[in-house]
Amino acid sequence: MHNPIALAALWILAYMVICLLPLGVVLLHPAPDPRGFWTEFSVALGFIGLALMALQFVLAARVNRIEASYGIDILLLFHRYTSVVAFGLVIIHPLILFVTRPETLDLLNFPEAPWRARLAVISTLAFCLMVVTTIWRKSLRIPYEPWRAAHSVLAVVAVGLGFGHGIGVGFYLGQFWTIVLWSGFIAIALWLILYVRLVKPWMMTKKPYLVEEVKPQRGDVWTLALRPMGHDGFTFDPGQFSWLTLGITPLSMREHPFSMSSNGDRRDRVEFGIKALGDFTSRIKDVKPGTKAYLDGPYGVFTTERYWDTAGFVLIAGGVGITPMHSMLITAAERQDDRPFLLIYSAQSWDDFTYREDLEAFKDKLDLTIIYVPREGPEGWQGETGYVDKALLERHIPHHRGSRQYFICAAPVMMDVVERALFELDVPVTHVHMEHFNLA
């Protein structure tokens, strides 16, 4: 299917059908001896909650076709919100039973309770822990990698034991079609875990890369250049990103997402512009040429490639958010794209504009206008200064707003301000595309 909106709608429809499938099967094959409205209602909520939880494995599995319909940031937001809904349902499920059948409160007596109730308690606790450590990860000062590893383990525990609880109760999960359905869910979830954690990394070991060069850039950014080793590499749509693992093996959980900054049409060399911000990124400058690297990609819908019929582009970058724009510009320059590009680029100071010399050189090959926006200009600076806001955008973006596609990549605050400003300046929302570097 070529219509992206229809395809996106189809995925949502499929998602809803799968969530409601357990109820459909129960309705088609009702239990011989129903247990009263509130009990059945509570069980229905539990089933939907468990189905939603099982579906989270699909959302987190980087399925290229699904990701290509929405973009990773939207998918992760959806993952977050639907997890909260699933959590609500899983909590309401026993609460209804406790209120309508108070004798079920005895099931909370862990040492005495039957194992089906213990599984439910452990599953719910795992789910609680997962939600708390995700929502408050930064306040709790949990580093990203340990959090990610624990998140995966807790998810398996919560869903696995939730399913075990259903089998233990045996009322519906003792019936043939319900067992078939849930076995299918569990098999798919297990396959996705195996695929993401073992199969895909193993396939990546067959296509390693070598670090060719590590080069300093302005703005505390380092260019990391990789060369495919024993294979053809890949082409990508300018603006897309890959998950990068350095050294050891892709089976480790230490992979980080970075936008490619180089020409998307070149297979023999792929470059990233990495800003030293934290644990992993601060060590890029010490990476030795010859180090092995692995890439999982390309991913992402933040690309000029999808808008081949637009009259031109407005790129709005802040700091290291220039990396996907650099890829868009270099690819367009090499392809001799004759459409107009306007780059509005904000950085701390004139010396912090990463790729400044490259960008100036692109003007020889492209119809490119660059508006630099340093917080404070150098001595004698005549250009813009301060922050990118509505007034600044109004001075520079084309009068015919809908004639361009707008790409924004910057710090979260700047992205919010620019998105709102473009909306107020009557830029059609469907023409605005954003890449969030800060996912969690």
Ligand X SMILES: Cc1cc2nc3c(=O)[nH]c(=O)nc-3n(C[C@H](O)[C@H](O)[C@H](O)COP(=O)(O)OP(=O)(O)OC[C@H]3O[C@@H](n4cnc5c(N)ncnc54)[C@H](O)[C@@H]3O)c2cc1C
> What mask, x for binding ligand X by CB under 6 A, covers residues 261 to 290?
-----------xxxx-xxxxx---------
Helix locations, 335-386, DSSP H: 356-362
Closest distance to ligand X from the beta carbon of 221 (Å): 7
Which of residues 39 and 281 has its CB atom nearest to ligand X in the complex? 281
CA 132, CA 135: separation in Å to the nearest integer?
5
387 in Cβ contact with 415 (< 8 Å): no
Asked whether position 258 contacts ligand X by CB under 6 A, the answer is yes
What are the two backbone dihedrals, phi and then psi, of residue 388, each rounded to the nearest 5 degrees? -80, 115
**Least distance from ligand X to the Cβ atom of residue 103, Å:** 46
CA 89 to chain centre: 24
Decide: is 11 part of the binding site for ligand X (CB under 6 A).
no
- Read off the tokens for 316: 């709005």
Segment contacting ligand X (CB under 6 A): 39-47, 86-94, 123-131, 256-264?
256-264
CA distance 249 to 147: 20
Minimum distance from residue 373 beta carbon to ligand X (Å): 19
Question: Judged by CB, which is closer to ligand X: 272, or 372?
Answer: 272
Closest CA to 152 of 206, 92, 193: 193
Q: How many CB atoms lie within 10 A of CB 146?
A: 12
> Burial code of 361-373, b = ≥16 C-beta within 10 A, e = fewer?
ebeeebebebbbb
Minimum CB–partner distance for residue 67 and ligand X (Å) = 11
Name the residue among 128, 149, 37, 39 with its Cα closest to residue 83: 128
Residues 309-348 that bind ligand X (CB under 6 A): 320, 323
Minimal distance, residue 269 CB to ligand X, in Å: 16
In this structure, the dihedral spanned by the alpha carbons of residues 249, 254, 259 and 260, taken in order and rounded to 10 degrees, is: -20
- Angstrom CA distances, 75 to 35, 232, 439, stand at 38, 30, 11
- Residue 2 vs 65, nearer CB to ligand X: 65
How far apart CA 371 and CA 414 sit, in angstroms, is 16
**Which 183-242 positions form the footprint of ligand X (CB under 6 A)?**
241
* Interface characters, 90-129, with ligand X (x: CB under 6 A): ----------------------------------------
**Least distance from C-beta 377 to ligand X, angstroms?**
25
Report the C-alpha gap between 421 and 424 in whole angstroms. 5
Residue 438 interacts with ligand X (CB under 6 A)? yes
Q: For ligand X, what does the binding mask look like between residues 144 and 183, x meaning CB under 6 A?
A: x---------------------------------------
**Does residue number 257 form part of the binding site for ligand X (CB under 6 A)?**
yes
* By CB under 6 A, residue 425 contacts ligand X: no
Smaller CB separation from ligand X, 252 or 369? 252
Q: Is residue 140 near ligand X by the rule CB under 6 A? A: no
The footprint of ligand X on residues 39-78 (CB under 6 A) is: 72
Binding site for ligand X (CB under 6 A): 72, 143-144, 241, 255-259, 272-275, 277-281, 320, 323, 435, 437-440
